[in-house]
Structure 1
């Protein structure tokens, strides 16, 4: 009888040893993930705190090299969109932190889209979001030179943009390229001299520090032809831009926002910790159909950027003071109310990010959310204003996704949405896209024949 017991004990010892090895291996992988994240955060923090010190790293030679690459890409490297109407240059200029490898990282990317007129918003975003950013940039062909110089000066003045932000270009097909070498320096970005420089000649006063100190005002005042929703008859391809920026995001998770939305401080870092603790990066959870809703608010634009709340505590003080309110509160409350702001606001800020509650989708709810980059893409037929985001959220609902509202995070829109804050053709575009949305919903019935859900 002694031998079988000894054999059983021997096998138990072997099993325990194997389990310990597995446990140690998992702990090592977790710690490696955290260490990698800490290193990247430390470098981003270093850039953020010492921008002026690190400007010299991006030398004139570097700028000239990047300008040449951007120009050559426009001449040689574009592909066409699905409708054969737009040039697309993927990774027009790539975040330095990505290196040259295209593997998918256990990380999150902020995905956004804009015309040249919105690029200044990146300067407000980067103190809050330290991680990767992927920007779909639309411009008219004649403004490509301006787009190049705007990107170069952003990369020069803000090393964290150079380190973490990739830009992807979209521009109309049937327009001949202008002479792209006509403006090949940073100085032509000054349409007018900044107020503090009005007493001097513009060219003499434009040293590097001057450019960087005044860059937000410079970018806001750019006299480009490319404006969101006003592009000389070329419809603004917001969903195409979102898809281009998504396809070039080399992370498992993405957070798709608009360029004028600012995330709360350290949202990317907090979500990474949440994902690690809940094993969201592991193979066993990759097929989970959950998106993580981030409540959205809007702030009086006169208070940007100095009064943007950093965390939920500051947000609630701002809400109670009346200068911050839920997004679209005045214009389309039903588009946002199903987030259940009342319940969310009652819950005090927690020590770490977590799921607070789950919400069932109702038409016409269009939340902002964090998701895996495997969720359905945006329908590129939707352009200009109306139904471009809700169509994709509607498909999520039909495809069986759950909407889990997170406890601490939020985004803030720079400016209050009011009926008089839109461009003149907004209502015409809305009606056109409303008709397209009806067709889109019928198509979803065929795309998801076994789904019991409907978009109403």
Structure 2
């Protein structure tokens, strides 16, 4: 791909820095960009000399590398003057060189690097020799030590050994610590203009700035409104994920969000749900690296390729729960989504049951939300029921309860658990205030309202909007999920302890009602009436 950049990148782009993904910058990249100013009229490519003996051709008997100028050059860091390369017909130049060499070499050993070197061997005037500290190459047998013992200010560390961090180098601990420091660095600091870069704000930045300026800092709910405007860094598909070429028309993805303190739920959910999963994880940069190590060490998680992990990096003082849900929802592939929470275990076989229900109820031709009834246990160790009959028996024995019946019955009472006990076919229920069931809907359902952060009303508002859009609410007779016990979150503690927190939530609820009335007109008045009658 590096060879094709003159053609692949926009013709208006005159120069570019090309980097391998296994490098660590130890300086401001603006310093490297400034090196373009040192190129002569003929120089078009900036490269650091190769620090291994590869191109000298003496590594083993009959070793025959591609032609190179002396030790050759490493293409882990490249400065390309695209406009000059285009004028030189670069596309034709490298192709002709490659085709000629392939007559005898048959294939490349080091991909694009071999071809760049063959072209430079033919015309040495093309290359600007970058100082070695711009690409310190750490492999087992290199001359990199000569570079970093002579130079105190190393700029770019390149882990170009196939063994990466496990390289046999006597100074490897120094470099590994540099790398780990970078990984655990707060990435939000990198977004600030630490080096005084003058840049014109884009229109979205102007809009954000205007919205921030319109906030009243004396508003008791200022912190809530400020959180809603935070623009988080997001790393989509953090780990390998296998995309579906042609998703099944009844396929459904489990959608949830979590933070580091709920990580222990992942393996259990993967054992209960065989289908695709989309998760948004709220983490710091350091926690993201801990998660990476955790996922790689887990036999269950490392064996799955249909779980999409999206990191939303921490910023602000509230947990952006509905932003996280929207990130996980927006990056699903299947036609349907199961909107749940990470502390619930779905019944065994729920994935297949939902797919057959979607087909039988012809969800593609109707606006409906399928409700999966929620239960809970207070036991950390639970023999998970294998059937509805077994669940009902545990319910009668008192080892299971209907979800939140003792603290928040309004949240799930409209599911009508009494009817569910004997139901054999899906049944319709009506929306009621504070209803917040877990549902299966089409992927194009309304987004969650992101003004709700932390604890409270984040799911209630979503179900209300589904109802405003005239979704049928259908309870599935043979589906269930069980909430597993855990310590209360920081946000629920704040909600319980702070009257100001609860007051702001009430203010946000009223504003949501007003917005709903504007969007849906008279049909939305019932929500306001219901709210005032409580």
Settle same-fold status: TM greater than 0.5: yes
Question: Cα deviations across residues 104-155 of structure 1 (Å, max 9, x unaligned)?
Answer: 864100000000111110111122211111111001244332232223233x
Cα 1:434/1:82, change in 2 over 3 Å: closer
Superposition misfits of 4+ residues, deviation over 6 angstroms: 60-64, 78-82, 416-421
Question: Cα deviations across residues 284-323 of structure 1 (Å, max 9, x unaligned)?
Answer: x1xx21101111000123333xx12222111101101101
Establish whether residue 234 from structure 1 lines up as the match of residue 317 from structure 2.
yes
Specify every segment of 5 or more residues in structure 1 that has no aligned partner in the other structure, as ranges: 1-59, 174-232
Establish whether residue 114 from structure 1 lines up as the match of residue 184 from structure 2.
no
- Partners of 2:336 and 2:442 within 8 A in 1: yes
Q: Which has the higher contact order (CA 8 A, sep 6+)?
A: 1
Q: Hey, what does 1:225 align to over in structure 2?
A: none
Q: Hey, what does 2:340 align to over in structure 1?
A: 257
Local SS of the residue matching 2:493: coil
Q: What is the rounded CA distance, in whole Å, between the counterparts of 1:140 and 1:75 in structure 2?
A: 8
1:168 to 276, 295, 310: 310
1:123 to 264, 267, 273: 267
- Partners of 1:330 and 1:417 within 8 A in 2: no
Q: What is the rounded CA distance, in whole Å, between the counterparts of 1:62 and 1:358 in structure 2?
A: 58
1:87-98 equivalences in 2 (<5 Å)? 87-96=233-242, 98=243
Q: Hey, what does 2:510 align to over in structure 1?
A: 438
1:301 to 370, 379, 384: 379
Q: Hey, what does 1:289 align to over in structure 2?
A: 367
Q: What is the rounded CA distance, in whole Å, between the counterparts of 1:152 and 1:63 in structure 2?
A: 16
1:270-419 equivalences in 2 (<5 Å)? 270-281=353-364, 285=365, 288-304=366-382, 307-347=383-423, 354-355=425-426, 357-415=427-485
- Partners of 1:238 and 1:384 within 8 A in 2: yes
RMSD: 3.6
Specify every segment of 5 or more residues in structure 2 that has no aligned partner in the other structure, as ranges: 1-161, 167-178, 192-203, 206-226
Q: Hey, what does 1:198 align to over in structure 2?
A: none
TM-score with structure 1 setting the length: 0.62
1:130-169 equivalences in 2 (<5 Å)? 130-154=274-298, 156-160=299-303, 162-169=304-311
- Partners of 1:136 and 1:241 within 8 A in 2: yes
Question: Cα deviations across residues 215-246 of structure 1 (Å, max 9, x unaligned)?
Answer: xxxxxxxxxxxxxxxxxx62111111100000
Q: What is the rounded CA distance, in whole Å, between the counterparts of 1:237 and 1:420 in structure 2?
A: 13
Local SS of the residue matching 2:279: strand
Larger radius of gyration: 2
1:269 shift after superposition = 0.6
Local SS of the residue matching 1:163: coil
Local SS of the residue matching 1:117: helix
1:419 shift after superposition = 12
1:421 shift after superposition = 12
- Partners of 2:455 and 2:491 within 8 A in 1: no
Cα 1:104/1:426, change in 2 over 3 Å: farther
Q: What is the rounded CA distance, in whole Å, between the counterparts of 2:356 and 2:419 in structure 1?
A: 24
2:327 to 237, 244, 259: 244
